[in-house]
Amino acid sequence: MPQALNTRYTFGILMDVTTIKLQKCTKRKLDALRKETESYDSVVERLVAMAKREHLKAALIAGYSDPEQKKIMEEWDGVTGDGWK
């Protein structure tokens, strides 16, 4: 059975709203992360943003740790805005 999709307007913007099921323990964990007036949607958005930052951080660390990438970066270190040093 497909999930019901509710449509509502918030501040004049068409918003698609859906319902998800959470275990009570998961909801309590979200409550612990939630600021006093923060919506659950905002909490989830914040967690997604944190996960993306961690993923990008790991990718950057891996890139800077790769010897081939390090060689390329060292080659570019000598470049200034107006040409080679």
Instruction: Name the token pair of 21.
Output: 């099921």
Residue 5 lies in a domain: no
Contact yes or no for 34/22 (Cβ under 8 A) = no
Note whether residue 14 is domain-resident: no
Higher pLDDT, 74 or 58: 58
Q: Annotate 52-78 with DSSP letters as a single string.
A: HHHHHHHHHHHHHH-HHHHHHHHHHHT
Residue range(s) defining the domain that contains residue 66: 39-78
DSSP state of 15: E
What total of structural domains would you count in the chain? 1
| SS3 call for 13 | strand
Reply yes or no on whether the pLDDT at 78 is more than 90: no
Amino acid identity, position 43: V
What is residue 5's predicted lDDT score, i.e. its pLDDT? 54
pTM here? 0.58
Which tens digit of pLDDT belongs to each residue from 3-60?
Answer: 555 555 566 676 788 899 999 999 999 999 999 999 999 999 999 999 999 999 998 8
